[in-house]
Amino acid sequence: MSGKESARYERLDERDRKAARSKRLTVTLAAGALTLTGVAACGSDDDRGGESKGTLTVLAASSLTEAFGELEQTFESEHDVDVKVSYDSSSVLADQVIEGAPADVLATADEQTMQSVVDEDLTDGDPQTFAQNSLVIVTPPDNPANIESLQDFTDDVTFAVCVPEAPCGDAAKRLLDLDKIDADPATEEENVKDVLTKVTSGEVDAGLVYVSDAQAAGDDVATVQAENASEVVNADPIAVLADAGDTELAQEWVDLVLGDEGQQVLKSYGFQPGA
């Protein structure tokens, strides 16, 4: 890491980031408690012969929003269950699981983040890789800064990346290091969708997002290939969690993602095969 880059990360207010994540975690845990209450209530309704469905809670990386949204509809059409998918940075989701947020399945955007949950014995079996993803440069449609490569990321250009703790931020750092880019990002966002929003709203000249996110944005962005991006590829693992309420149902969701139908959906949203 260059001296300038080290200084950049030192300037980041780590306390503020942790405080924000802690606040979000508290909100999520509260929501999770409500979910558990709802599930319990559903069980009572079922005992009484009511029509309420059970709930499958999935925690998924933000980059999976579109693909898992489609699979959610497929799963619900084939099962008598409501699928609740919560999207965020993988690092935030892993922290939520470790802190006790109730969930059935976790899907992250890199293996390192998933490993933090495995190390706490919070998965039911080994995670399985279901997709891979890499980064591209996105700009507003008119590309106001005339970005043609990462070499155009200078101090005169404003660009957004994810925070270093997030898989997309870690990948961005590795890619910028590989291309020896020494410019400071204008902003570091909690997850990749927030980076995309900074670009589509015109708040920055460019951003580094996953290929799948650029594809999902469509005409809202212009996409520029990043040299050496093929050398920085994140693997996406998925696992049933140890405290899943219905392990068999959770495994059926994992099987959907890993199966032919799930793989076709992921491919249609720009993901590469997991193996």
Task: Say which residue the tokens 């409501």 belong to.
Answer: 82
Residues that constitute the known binding site for molybdate: 63, 90, 192, 210
| Exposure b/e, 109-146, CB count within 10 A at least 16 = b | bbebbbebbbeeebbbeebbebbbbbbbbbbbeebebe
Q: Provide the strand spans (E) within 116-232.
A: 128-139, 159-162, 187-189, 206-210, 222-224
Q: Which two tokens stand for residue 84?
A: 């609740």
Q: Among residues 3, 81, 4, which one has the least CA distance to residue 43?
A: 81
Kindly tell me the number of DSSP H helices and DSSP E strands found in the chain: 10, 10
Q: Is 161 helix (H, G, I), strand (E, B) or coil?
A: strand
Residues that constitute the known binding site: 63, 90, 192, 210
